[in-house]
Chain A
Amino acid sequence: MVEDKSSQAVIFSARALTKTYLMGEVEIHALRGVDIDLYAGEFVVLLGASGSGKSTLFNILGGLDSATSGDVRYQNRLLTGISDRELTLFRRSHVGFVFQFYNLIPSLTARENIAIVTEIADNPMTPEEALERVGLGNRLDHLPAQLSGGEQQRVAIARAIAKRPAVLLCDEPTGALDSKTGIRVLEVLQQINQELGTTTAVITHNEVIGEMADRIIRLSDGKIASIHGNAQRKAPKELFW
């Protein structure tokens, strides 16, 4: 049962997307014909087991990887087949990434880790503002090693949103965190989604997180298994795992 979203603008649309790559001598079919639309301002959770192809899909949508076949459109612009330079500009202006292992640059402070993005963005918020939004206004000059895992992930979120992206792509953002810290991170994501209207896609294998989403998309074996909307979204603090 798919909720009618036709009133909202489609921000991402993928058609017949496939991806195969070689892992040593094994050919991996990560995606086997995926059709998907993401709408402006929605909070989507992509659920799937390990190896279901969710990270691959995420990488292709975010312009980190290219598809073997099929089309990806972002706001009606074709992303497949465009040059590396255009893809770079696309990432620079439109997409924010949050990774499972934060991927902060250990040699830079929280503020500088954000500045690394704001320095090349068009209309960014200040690093201070970004950190304020994730509740870390008092940790500006801490190096990653001086922050807890949850704090590091919030810095990573601040870094992702500082350029005011249209889309926030989060790959297992709570995967390396305990549930309490994880919920704090989800609260921040929801707050950003609501305050800035950023389309947010969260990849996870944690079913519970789906309960806070507008839509839940399940992937299995490189294909979309199901898409369904949430009639009643839960607040992150109501979640438990």
Chain B
Amino acid sequence: MNTVLTHKVLTYKILRESKSMLGQLIAIALVIAAGVMVLVISVSTRQSIEQSQQHFYQQYHFADVFVEVTRAPDDLIRTIRQLPGVNVAETRIRAGARFQLEGPVNGFSNRFADVGSKSFAEPIQGEIISLPERSPELLNRLHYLVGGPPQLGSQLEVVVSAPFAHAHQLSVGDSISAVLNGRLQRLTISGVALSPEYIYQLSPNSILPDYERFGVFWMNRQALASAFDMDGAFNSLSVTVQHNASRDDVMLQLDNILRRYGSRGSYDRHEQISHRFISEELSQLRVMAIVLPTIFIGVAAFLLQVLLTRVIHTQKQSIALLKAFGYSSWQIIRHYLQLTNIILVLGIGGGIALGLLVAEPMAQMYAMYFHFPEFLFALQRDALVTAILITSAVGYAATIRATAHAANMAPAEAMRPPTPARYQRTWLDHPRIAHWWQQPTRIMLRNIRRHPWRASVSVVGIGLSGGLLLLGSYQFNAIDHMLDQQYRQHYRMDLEVTFNQERPQHSLSTLRAIPGVSYVEGFRQVPVILTHERKQWRLALHGLPRESRLRQVGTSSQPLPTAGVVLSRYLADDLSIQPGENVSVTLLDGRQQSLTLTVAAVIDEPMGLGLYMDFDHLNRLLLADQTVTGAWLLVEPDRQAEVFRQLQAMPAVASIGQISRAEAEIRTYINNTVLGVMTVMFLLAGSMTFAVVYNNARIMFAERARELASLRVLGFKKSEVAYILFGELGILVVLAIPLAWAIGVTFAWLLTTAMSMDLFRIPFVLSPISFAISALGVLLAAALSMLLMLRRVWQLDMIQALKTE
């Protein structure tokens, strides 16, 4: 017997038939492509960042443990290096400083700065760190993009961080003024560099980078030692821990040794600002890389199985014929598996191609915020293989099931015209109701009732893709709502001013005296470690007026409790603490004092990590008399420029934050990252919806062609025939919309729950717009499908359809 495994002719058949069903196949492939693409994007973005980070850390010796002290003798390093578990230890000098730039600044469009001078007149906060002079750094090494370290013995050369240099278009040879410990110095840039410590360059106590107003600088150790009276001493220590050693033990030993030198407590990478933010972003991406592909691939698998089953169902006659010729069921199944292969290749190949196309720019977008010497683009093979296996398995299973069902029928039975379905009279046929329906409507309604299972599968399919649409638009609205809440409800000030040191509250009168300032409120911020049971957080404790007008804590405008602290829910949940319980607060302002405070309330805040306390209560605890570290200002809109200029001239002012700009920045950040991904999802969900609806229409047409042609023969008009077909689709679509809403809300809830983190928590707020977009998307897909189908209905060949079985 001729047992060729591949039947060439059958391959021609499949290829030619695929050509005629190309639209339909592409639509199915699109569904798979969407699932695979989401996976490629989310997995490779995360993977790329993670690998770039790891690579940078390893190549440039990022430290494991950090300690800041007030002042410790250099000799101590010998003792530290001999501590068990310590691998490499390095001391340095690290200080805050204020910088000033003169000369033109390009591309800067702040309206305050535009007034008067072209230079960047606003105060620049900086962190300045010492570099060893005779040898390269042992830990946290710099990667020089341009230039190099200051020359040996140079007191006036500085290395600047790359994001800051780029923001101001600075390069080697340019100069910058620095106020180092109160003394103004003019420094020359010797190099522009990246540091593993500042991949995400953030000033203390802010949640978003501001490359114009905050920079990191490095100078020779000797130059800083003389500027900050640190000869023979250090105030910052970095340590790497041996592989098999316990990091906690090393930290404990360091704390013991350094306590008497004003240690603020050792902390590991997890509390290092840059590392923490990247971790946050990575965990967010990790969630997205699990939740979104699961949703998309799950939906795609379901749709694939529904669509393939129905496409094969329309081939019942061909299957019977092959069977009559003596093809075995397995040969026929293999034949249809070829069709599935075409779809899978198109879908998976397309998904990977599109994914790669989008993933690289997507990952690059993150690279705008995370500064790596080289950005390693990675594609995770395991995830891809999983996606391919799942979609292929589902595709094959559906094909085998559907084909086997048709192939196992006796050929004569399969070739026989379908037996008329059994009808039962229902309330729809009650004479009082029945006279409402014209015959076409009756046919339409009965078609749906005749195949309740098929109709429900269609409804679920459309519902799933519509649900994805809702998920996509939900993100936009929820984030919008979150930002509105933050900047309309919680932050009501125009400007936030911080001072370079604690100041008495009465000094605020200077600010009140500035013409154009209509209201001033002082606040006090203290860096603390919050500990409950085994968990701890490093963050700022905010002391604010009990009945602050400019800063609302929580959703209601209730005054702060007179005693105890108020925590944001995210923090309270993480620490597993309830109101009424005690929490330990260690002050990190040099005195290392530990306080036990009661949690007075837990509040809901969408952004940041809030820890609040009544201003007076905080000052009493600190034994300080009405001291502030900053102030919030309300400013008359038309006098903002003037107020800004006056503030800049004040030596006590360390930074001026403009709330509207912060809002704009965070919106840009979210737009670029989260919403970038979501836009792609949204477009994919839209295409998926179209693919599903269009396929449903095509299959419905294939199934009904004979019936519809018969109706045409009997004298029905084209429009009446179209009405039966499209009416049925319309009913399914309308039924699918509420389901799409329900599914979308579930997806949204899943995503929100999974994506809760330090930086922000997307509130579970559903706007009517999301529902409308989901419904409109489904309706639009239906309208477009109908439009495409119209030609087929118009060209319905009556004779042919009736003749050929």
Contacts and interface: CB of A to CB of B under 8 A. Distances in A.
Interface of A: 22-25, 56, 59, 62, 64-66, 84-85, 88-93, 97, 101, 103, 105, 107-108, 112, 115-117, 119-122, 124, 176
B716 interface: no
Contact of A101 (B2, B411, B413, B804): B804
A65 to B, nearest CB: 4
12 contacts: A22-B419, A24-B422, A64-B324, A89-B328, A91-B326, A105-B318, A108-B13, A116-B7, A120-B325, A122-B1, A122-B2, A124-B2
Given A88-B323, A103-B805, A122-B2, A116 B13 contact: yes
B433 interface: no
Given A93-B326, A105-B13, A120 B7 contact: yes
B327 A120 contact: yes
Interface in B493-534: none
B621 interface: no
B12 A108 contact: yes
From B325, B412, B419, B804, residue with most partner A Cβ within 10 Å: B325
Interface string B1-40: 1101001111011001100100000000000000000000
A89 B413 contact: no
Contact of A84 (B8, B20, B329, B413): B329
A232 to B, nearest CB: 35
A66 B412 CA distance: 9
A85 B329 CA distance: 8
Given A64-B411, A119-B8, A122-B2, A107 B323 contact: no
Given A64-B412, A103-B317, A105-B318, 12 more contacts: A25-B422, A65-B411, A65-B412, A65-B413, A92-B326, A92-B327, A101-B805, A103-B321, A108-B12, A115-B8, A116-B9, A120-B7
Contacts of A89: 326, 328
Contact of A120 (B12, B331, B419): B331
A92 B331 CA distance: 12
A124 B20 CA distance: 31
Contacts of A115: 8-9
Interface of B: 1-2, 4, 7-10, 12-13, 16-17, 20, 317-318, 321-329, 331, 408, 410-413, 415, 419-422, 803-805
Contacts of B805: 101, 103
A92 B415 CA distance: 18
Contacts of B803: 101, 176
Contacts of B322: 116
A234 B536 CA distance: 105
B326 A120 contact: yes
A108 B16 contact: yes
A4 B318 CA distance: 41
Contacts of A88: 323, 326-329
A123 to B, nearest CB: 9
Nearest to A113: B9
B324 A97 contact: yes
Given A119-B4, A119-B7, A84 B408 contact: yes
Contacts of A124: 2
A115 B13 CA distance: 11
A23 B417 CA distance: 10
B2 A120 contact: yes
A62 B412 CA distance: 10
Contacts of A108: 9, 12-13, 16
A171 B323 CA distance: 17
Contacts of B327: 88, 92, 120
A144 B321 CA distance: 16
Nearest to A100: B805
A122 B328 CA distance: 15
A65 B410 contact: yes
Contacts of B17: 107
B1 A107 contact: no
Nearest to B320: A64
B14 to A, nearest CB: 9
Contacts of A90: 326
Q: Top 8 A-B pairs ranked by shortest CB distance? A: A92-B326, A65-B412, A107-B16, A64-B412, A59-B412, A91-B326, A115-B9, A64-B411
Contacts of B13: 105, 107-108, 112, 116
A167 B616 CA distance: 106
Contacts of A84: 329, 408
B415 to A, nearest CB: 8
Nearest to A112: B9
Contacts of B4: 119-120
A80 to B, nearest CB: 13
Contacts of A107: 12-13, 16-17, 20
Contacts of A92: 325-327
